[in-house]
Amino acid sequence: MRPDAHPDEVRDWVRRRLDPLESYETERPHRSDFDLNPEMTPKGETTLVPAAVLVPLVERDDGLSVLLTRRADTLRRHTGQVALPGGRIDPGETPWEAALREAEEEIGLSRDRVELAGLSTRYRTGTNYLITPVVGFVTPPIELSPNPQEVAEIFETPFRFLMDPANHERRYYDQPSGERRYFYAMTHEERVIWGATAGMLRALYDRLYGALEAAPGGV
């Protein structure tokens, strides 16, 4: 996709590479925290908790950016980590209903400002959540208000940066058991996006650009 492409062209290009909303109940391959650590994949059947996140692509004059949050320091899990707005899917909800609801609750993003584009690749976390990333285009102007119980900060990161594989670092940490766990990380302006959030963004990159780069001649 050309950097100077018209917003309508960008929307159409992204949509064609995502799954349609109505396909969410279809069994589809997913990515996971275990892709870089296959030896840690749990054995046997595991009950996964359905969840959804919104991948908000804000249409700025200089290109798309992604709305991200830094989780509140008071949360019990994933304190201070960078995340996409989202959470558990309530009974009777679709993934996009959950993603839009959570975005309103967490950062005050009105669903009226979001045009849904489709679904990216589902992602399984090491804590047994199966997350459906819902991609949507956000039309400025937008007024945001972080929920202080959940969100410490809201910020935007250029989509072009996040979709550049040169910025997809493979890092690791050593667990108390001695096992080494690998994960993706993307560092922009001293903010480190890592773990499941980076994994989902990497999966989105593979959907949008992976097949193109594998083709003769590249993008």
Domain boundaries, the chain: 7-38+46-211
Q: Are 5 and 160 in contact (CB under 8 A)?
A: no
Q: What is the DSSP letter of 202?
A: H
- Judged by average pLDDT, the poorest of 68-77, 191-200, 202-211 is 68-77
> What value does the CA radius of gyration of the chain take, rounded to a whole number of Å?
17
Query: Is-contact 116 96, C-beta < 8 A?
Result: yes
pLDDT tens-place string over residues 113-139:
999 999 999 999 999 999 999 999 999
pLDDT band at 2 (very low <50, low <70, confident <90, very high): low
State mean pLDDT over 36-46: 89
The pLDDT assigned to 116 comes to: 98
- Fold for domain 7-38+46-211? Nucleoside Triphosphate Pyrophosphohydrolase (3.90.79)
What's the pLDDT at 3? Answer: 58
CA distance 117 to 12: 9
- d(CA 211, CA 219) in angstroms, rounded, equals 9
b/e code 18-36 from CB counts within 10 Å (16+ = b): bbeeeebeeeeeebbbebb
- Give yes or no for residue 210 having a pLDDT over 90: no
* Residue 211, pLDDT above cutoff 90: no
Q: How far apart are CA 219 and CA 214, in angstroms?
A: 9
Tell me the HSE value of 162 on the side-chain side, using a 13 A CA sphere.
27
The answer for residues whose C-beta is within 8 angstroms of residue 61's C-beta and 6 or more apart is none
**Is this model's pTM higher than 0.85 or not?**
yes
Place of tokens 């046997």: 44
3-state secondary structure of 32: strand
User: Higher confidence at residue 19 or residue 80?
Assistant: 19
CA 81, 150, 136, 113 torsion-angle sign: negative
The most distant pair of C-alpha atoms in the chain lies apart, rounded to whole Å, by 51
Residue 162 to residue 184: CA distance in whole angstroms: 12
Q: Which long-range contacts (CB under 8 A, 24 or more apart) does 207-213 make?
A: 207/17, 207/18, 207/120, 207/121, 208/14, 208/17, 208/163, 209/163, 209/165
Interval 182-206 mean pLDDT: 96
